[in-house]
Amino acid sequence: MTSGQYRDQFHIPQVNGKDSIYLCGNSLGLQPKKVKEYVNETLEDWASLGVEGHLHARHPWLPYHEFLTQSTARLVGANTSEVVVMNSLTVNLHLLMASFYKPTPDRYKILIESDAFPSDRYAVASQAKWHGYDEEDAIILWRPKPDQHLVDLEELEDILRVEGEQIAMIMVGGVNYYTGQYLNIPEITRLGHEHDIIVGFDLAHATGNVDMKLHDWDVDFAAWCSYKYLNSGPGSLGGIFIHDRHGEDLSVPRLSGWWGHNKTTRFRMRDEFDPLPGAEGWQLSNPPILPMAAIRASMELFDQAGIQQLRKASRGTVQYLFDALSTSEKIKILTPSNPDERGSQLSLLVEEDGRQLFDHLTKQGVIADWREPNVIRIAAAPLYNTLEDVEQFVSLVESYK
């Protein structure tokens, strides 16, 4: 398969009367054309059936999240019991940390990368404070070496050698939102486990972008959103992964709600919580069906394409982009040159007149992402970005004086 093979399944935003060069799927994925049909189906069923839709909608609402489970499990390399679609990303990080961040007086620190997405940083800091620890003391930053932009495993090993016995949890981004660096998830997990540390990942920039094997890699937990590479609409629901090792252990403490209760007795409205085994047992509320309908449309495309095939197609396009932009004097690429250490995003550091270049590209129909003070982030999303998209981008950069 080639990159962009599914382009005609998406609505492409128009600029100046033609298709934009949309390289912003890392921020908000495009709308699959089927979304309207699937959302409409839900609206029609609600109109015609009312509450009966829970059981009798064409896709009944009661088990609706289950329609997404297999596809979700395939995307992240999990057993179906290990994933569920629910809530939003930061909310899910907190719910997961409620279960897996279990500080003790000797072991209470949290390790996160220094360039983490701000919400993740706020989330881990607030967890530490919530348990009565001082942020300065409890949060350990995994930083790039001086004058570098990327983190490396040697630094992590050094931190663990010194402070490993005090660290309760590692929580880092699988693909860094700023640099596009794809971290070595299995190796980080292995290193953490060597020190008896719980290891979780934020996969907002990884899911739908790279293929993973979370179960085999023995990751403890993970969470992601569905509106970036998963193309499921602004603010749409996130997903979680909980390794079966924890999910099947019903004694793992959790913040609970009725949707995590045993399905066969949920509606007997008993006082005692009887958790579902697996990730489903972390659900709180009955979920919103309308955004799930959008996710269902998106998952069908991932199922057809296959995440491994998408990743392969993406490598070629990104390599072209990387090679072409490497020759530019204006641009320094922050993202790793090793294709195994990146997904479909490249982060371009433009030290001189970066904003002017960005504005020029925007006028010419490019939709990309600007990060102050001088970084342009672009992503060639393999479902809808073609080699032609990136060729056009490169020639616009080259023609800019």
Ligand X SMILES: *Cc1c(COP(=O)(O)O)cnc(C)c1O
Binding site for ligand X (CB under 6 A): 88-90, 117, 119-120, 173, 177, 202, 204-205, 225
In the complex with ligand X, which residue's Cβ is closer, 238 or 260? 238
Nearest C-alpha neighbor of 258 from the set 239, 241, 277, 283: 283
In the complex with ligand X, which residue's Cβ is closer, 27 or 286? 27
Are 4 and 384 in contact, with CB atoms under 8 Å apart? yes
In the complex, what is the shortest distance from the CB of residue 233 to ligand X, in angstroms, rounded to a whole number?
Answer: 12
Helix (H) or strand (E) holding 168: strand 167-173
In the complex with ligand X, which residue's Cβ is closer, 81 or 176? 176
Q: Which residues pair with 142 in a beta bridge?
A: 113
In the complex with ligand X, which residue's Cβ is closer, 22 or 177? 177
Are 101 and 169 in contact, with CB atoms under 8 Å apart? yes
3-state SS assignment for residue 141: strand
Give the phi and the psi of residue 69 in degrees, each rounded to 5: -70, -45
Give the pair of three-digit tokens for residue 17: 């009367």
Nearest C-alpha neighbor of 380 from the set 329, 328, 310: 310
In the complex, what is the shortest distance from the CB of residue 227 to ligand X, in angstroms, rounded to a whole number?
Answer: 7
Helix (H) or strand (E) holding 240: strand 238-242
In the complex, what is the shortest distance from the CB of residue 87 to ligand X, in angstroms, rounded to a whole number?
Answer: 9
Rounded CA-CA distance 192/234 in Å is: 34
In the complex, what is the shortest distance from the CB of residue 225 to ligand X, in angstroms, rounded to a whole number?
Answer: 4
309: exposed, middle or buried (Cβ count in 10 Å: 0-12, 13-18, 19+): middle
In the complex with ligand X, which residue's Cβ is closer, 26 or 81? 26
Q: Could you count the other beta carbons within 10 Å of the beta carbon of residue 63?
A: 12
In the complex with ligand X, which residue's Cβ is closer, 180 or 365? 180
Give the phi and the psi of residue 349 in degrees, each rounded to 5: -90, 120
In the complex with ligand X, which residue's Cβ is closer, 65 or 205? 205
Rounded CA-CA distance 383/72 in Å is: 16
